[in-house]
Structure 1
Amino acid sequence: MDIKWIEDFLSLAATRNFSRSADHRNVTQPAFSRRIRALEAWTGAELVDRSTYPLTLTVAGKLFNDAASEALRLLNDARSQLRSEQTAHNMLRVTAGHSLALSFFPEWLDGLNGGQGADLSARITATNIHDSVLALSEGECDLLLCFHHVQLPILLNPDQYACLTVGSERVIPVSAPDRDGAARFRLPGGKSKPTRLLAYPATSFLGRVMELILAHAPQTPALLTTYESEMAELLKRMALNGHGMAWLPQRSVAQELADGKLVAAGGEAWSLELEIRVYRSLQNKRPALTRLWDKLTNT
């Protein structure tokens, strides 16, 4: 049995509504219903009377609700105690995209510690946006650091999560230079000679950023995808090796642009400005997180 099933059931017992509980648990209603069915199969009894509206718990459901609430409380108490023993009281757990973890987070942390001593410690996990949001919603991290654009929102309930803008980033097209110092692979390309593209998967956040740039481009480019990865650092390496053009966060290629190892492959019309946001759960009351949030709010 998955502990998420218990959490799903307790949510359903509180709301008496599959749709509202599915929204609260950040899953689709069909997936939520399957998980409740799986829990009923595990217990060997029907826990929910679906013939009433709002739904009610069966006798077995009421019994299981009491037991599940107490079991989950004991598990969470034990986990909190173990984590407090394993982790220093001021160590914050942060999840961020790979690019932000490498090119933004270290300087941001230095800036937060500057002038007041290195009183903030952090453990950062670099992962994709889906896993980052999941980690935040399940209490596996204290902070989520991510890109944001108004047309590409992160769907987190503002009643449960707070966010602050802590910076900005421009995603720009870059390429290795040719012998004359111009971009070897340049936008918009042509039908007879399309621009070799180092792309992101369409399902990734930067992949959607790339699609948004193309949707608002001054003209339709001729592109030939030659390599694909959701990690900007891998695309950067491929661009440095002369395999094509890539859209990359400007901060991550600042040194390469300054050294002339990479050059712009298109003007501002081919780029997009993003916010850098940090999210927290309002239910997380860790003192280190509260101190940091107060500092960020008052900056």
Structure 2
Amino acid sequence: MDIKWLEDFLSLAQTRNFSRSASDRNVTQSAFSRRIQALEAWVGADLVDRSSYPLVLTPAGKLFSSSATEAMRQLNDARAVLRVEENKGQVLRVSAGHALALNFFPNWLNSLQMPNDHLRVRILPTNVHDSVLSLIEGNCDLLLCYHHAELPIELDAQRFTFKHIGDETVMPVSIPGRSGSPAFSLPGAKNIPVPYLGYTPTSYFGRVVQRIQSRVDQPCCLQHYYESDLAELLRTMALSGHGVAWLPESCIAQDLAEGTLVRAGGDQWSMNLEIRMFRTLGPGKPLLESVWNQLP
């Protein structure tokens, strides 16, 4: 059972409207409905009477609402106490996508001009959706993410601010052939498609690659061979000679320098991204302010 399901249900118990609660919870109505159904499956009873409008809670829903309210009160009280204790220890919580957490974050952290005994950082690697939600819900101090005008991270400017702290290039790469040119190169042909090591379509890099391909005039002939959300896994497959993968430059800088991977296409097959750091507006704990003030 996911705690978000309880929060969803309590919102629905208050608004009595799926559409309004979905908006309040920052999810689509279909996703919100699925989460309520998942909670009902976990409870083992219908919690909402969907035959009336506005909807009403079933007897089981009323009973569960009371218990859920008390459970959330206790959880939130405990979290508040723990956060106070954690703030005393000055832990900086940073949420980031997996590629940034692994390849960009360590060097960025080393660049900060702070004594090691005053800097305690907890990195929370996850997907883009969950990392953004972590900032919105106050579960992290900083959000590290990619940004492109065609694939923006949309956060309320009245609540959040950001700084541009770096740049990234996502490019297609392959192992080299005997001549040093790529063993697999774009765009490929219908009779000889390029073996493709791709991202899932709903992942951020998956959307980046889709946008790259849509901007190039010539068709790209790919044969899907392997799929993952993690750039590091695709890098491993590319190094093993299984095909072409679009990878962030920070992930493959050493491979490019050593020649174990080479570009598999021209600049038209690449995309430049910003690296942004977001935070909530307003004063924060001293460690957050100290780090934020060092950002360009």
TM-score by length of 1: 0.79
- Cα distance in 1, alignment partners of residues 149 and 91 from structure 2: 31
Letter in 2 for 1:126: P
Letter in 2 for 1:241: S
Q: Give the structure 1 partner of residue 192 of structure 2.
A: 193
In the TM superposition, 1:120-139 aligns within 5 A as 120-139=119-138
Q: 1:46 to 1:222 in 2, by over 3 A?
A: closer
Range that drifts further, 182-191 or 145-154: 145-154
In the TM superposition, 1:1-299 aligns within 5 A as 4=4, 7-8=7-8, 19-29=19-29, 32=32, 75-85=75-85, 89-111=89-111, 113-114=112-113, 116-118=114-116, 119-282=118-281, 285-296=284-295, 299=296
Deviation, 1:265, is 0.6
- Cα distance in 1, alignment partners of residues 34 and 224 from structure 2: 39
Deviations 1:12-47 (A, max 9, x none): 7998976454323112345557878979x99x9999
Contact 1:95 1:143 in 2 (8 A): yes
- Cα distance in 1, alignment partners of residues 240 and 48 from structure 2: 60
Aligned residues: 291
- Cα distance in 1, alignment partners of residues 198 and 288 from structure 2: 36
Q: 1:135 to 1:254 in 2, by over 3 A?
A: same
Q: 1:171 to 1:35 in 2, by over 3 A?
A: closer
Q: 1:284 to 1:209 in 2, by over 3 A?
A: farther
Contact 1:235 1:246 in 2 (8 A): yes
- Cα distance in 2, alignment partners of residues 241 and 31 from structure 1: 38
Deviation, 1:277, is 1.4
Letter in 1 for 2:89: H
Deviation, 1:180, is 0.7
Q: Which runs of 5+ in 1 are unaligned?
A: 56-63
Q: 1:100 to 1:35 in 2, by over 3 A?
A: closer
Range that drifts further, 71-80 or 245-254: 71-80
Letter in 2 for 1:236: R
Deviation, 1:99, is 1.2
Letter in 1 for 2:168: E
Deviations 1:195-244 (A, max 9, x none): 11111111111000000000001311211111111110111111111110
TM-score by length of 2: 0.80
- Cα distance in 2, alignment partners of residues 277 and 5 from structure 1: 30
Range that drifts further, 194-203 or 30-39: 30-39
Range that drifts further, 152-161 or 8-17: 8-17
Q: Secondary structure at the match of 2:89?
A: coil
Q: Secondary structure at the match of 1:224?
A: strand
Q: CA RMSD in A?
A: 3.7
Deviation, 1:68, is 8.4
Deviations 1:234-259 (A, max 9, x none): 11111111110110001111111111
Identity %: 53
Q: Which runs of 5+ in 2 are unaligned?
A: 56-63
